[in-house]
A = this chain, B = another copy of it.
Amino acid sequence: MIDKTSGVPAYRQVATDIRAKIESGEYAPGAPIPSERTLVDQYGVSRPTIRDAIALLRQEGALIAEHGRGVFVRPRATVQRLSRSRLSRDARTANRGAFLGDASAGGFTPSTTVKIRFEPADERTADLLGLDAGEEVTVRDRVMRADGLAVMLAVSRLPRSITRGTAIEEVNTGPGGAYARLEENGHTLTHFEEIVSARMPTPEEASILQLSSGVPVVRVTRVAYAGRAVEVNDMTLASDRYELIYHIPAD
C-alpha cells in the first residue's frame, strides 16, 4: 500500500489514502476508521507512523480521536448563521441584546456568565476608543452559553467616563442591554465596525469552548460608534459552529 521509493513520506501517503477514503464516503462522517493497530497491519508501517498520519488529519479537522473509543470521521457540525444586521436599532429594542436575539432565532436556551472589572486602557483599546493610554475602562467579560455549552467569549471595553452610574457597570444591564443604556444616556449609536479574522485557539479558549483539534476560532472585534467610539467588543467563536452573515448595500 505504501510506496517507499516515491520520496513521499510514508505518513503522508497514509494520510492521503485515508483522506481519499473519507472523501469517497468509504469512511462516513461520524463513523470510526480502523484502529491504529489495524492500520499498522494494513499499511505495513509502524504505529508512530500511523499516528503521524492521523495527527495530520486531525490537524486538518478531518478526524477526531476519542481516547479508549476510536478515531472518527468528523461529523458535519450544525452551523448557526449569525446575522450581523441584527445590530440594527429595531432588532435591539425588540430583545435584550444581540446574543439573546440569536438565541430566539436559533431555538436554544441561552445563559451568560458576566464578570465586571475596571482597568486602565491598554494601547490598542485606547487607540480604538480614542482615549489616552491608561484612562480607565469598564470591562465586561462574558461567556455565552447555548443549552449549557459555551459558544462565545466576549470582552467589551467602554470608557468608564460614559458608564459611571449606569447599569453597564452592573452584571445585569437591563432590557435592551448595554447599547440601550448608552442611548438612554445620550450616546445615540450611529454605526458599528466589525473586524473579522481567524486563528487557532489558545489552550484556554480550546478548553472553554470545548474545541476539538483542527478547529480555528473566528475573532470579531466590534467597535460601536455614537459620534465617537463608545465600545470595543472582542468576540471569540468556534468556527465549526458559527458563521457570520453580513449585508452590504450596492451603493
Counting CB contacts under 8 A, is A133 at the interface?
no
One of B192, B200, B201, B202 near A250 (C-beta < 8 A) = B192
The reply to whether A60 and B203 contact each other, CB–CB distance below 8 Å, is yes
Contact status of A192 and B88, CB under 8 A, knowing A55-B55, A59-B59, A61-B199 = no
CA distance A248 to B198 in the complex (A): 20
One of B59, B85, B245 near A200 (C-beta < 8 A) = B59
Number of this chain's copies in the complex: 2
Count the A residues whose beta carbon is within 8 Å of the partner chain — how many?
48
CA distance A216 to B84 in the complex (A): 22
Contact status of A198 and B213, CB under 8 A, knowing A89-B250, A193-B247 = no
Interface of A is mostly: mixed
Contact status of A250 and B88, CB under 8 A, knowing A216-B199, A216-B239 = yes
Counting CB contacts under 8 A, is A218 at the interface?
yes
Minimum distance in angstroms from A119 CB to a CB of chain B: 19
Counting CB contacts under 8 A, is A103 at the interface?
no
20 more CB-based (< 8 A) A-B contacts, given A194-B248, A195-B244, A200-B214: A60-B203, A81-B195, A87-B248, A88-B248, A90-B251, A191-B247, A191-B250, A192-B248, A192-B250, A193-B246, A196-B243, A196-B244, A196-B246, A197-B239, A197-B243, A198-B216, A198-B239, A199-B215, A200-B216, A246-B246
Q: Can you offer 20 A-B residue contacts whose CB atoms are under 8 A?
A: A59-B200, A60-B200, A60-B201, A84-B246, A85-B248, A87-B248, A89-B250, A189-B250, A191-B247, A191-B250, A192-B250, A193-B245, A193-B246, A195-B244, A196-B244, A198-B216, A198-B217, A199-B239, A200-B214, A246-B246
Query: Which A residues form the contact surface with B (CB < 8 A)?
Result: 48, 55, 59-61, 79, 81, 84-85, 87-90, 188-203, 213-218, 225, 239-240, 242-251
